[in-house]
Amino acid sequence: MKPMNKNVLEEILKRPQQCVRRKEPYARCGGRITIEHTMGRRRERAWNCIWLCAKHAGIEQWADKKHFNKQINLLHAYLQATDEELESYKLRASYKKEKRFLLLKYKDLIN
């Protein structure tokens, strides 16, 4: 696997290194903190990367325990992006529409 872009990594390291899902009710994070690419590594942008604990990333002893929720992780990434950044990726989906949908679906989990 190729290393992460240095500029993107610098921007990510400026953020608090805490699990973004720690404020959810009953979250109870666990394990080491990792960087998760919510949309895969093909979109090498800082807003695409979030800090997750091993439990919410679904790795190590938490693999197959159903704590990993891709939609919630995507929502946290969308909340880090500006509308202009989301509009720059007009592929198959409208990311602004998806962001609104996820905000409505998970409004109780996001503070």
* Domain extent listing, the chain: 6-105
DSSP string, 5-70: PHHHHHHHHTS--S-TTTTSTT----S-EEEEETT-TTS--GGGEEEEEHHHHT-GGGTTSS---H
Euclidean distance between CA atoms 16 and 76, whole angstroms = 14
The pLDDT score that the predictor gives to residue 11 is 92
Which distant-in-sequence residues (6+ apart) come within 8 Å of 65 by Cβ? 55, 58
What are the b/e assignments for 56-82, b being 16+ CB within 10 Å?
Answer: bbbbeebeeeebbeeebbbbbbbebbe
The 10 Å Cβ neighbour count of residue 47 is: 20
Euclidean distance between CA atoms 33 and 29, whole angstroms = 10
The pLDDT score that the predictor gives to residue 41 is 74
Mean pLDDT by runs of 10 across the 111 residues of the chain is 84 91 82 88 84 87 81 90 79 76 85 62
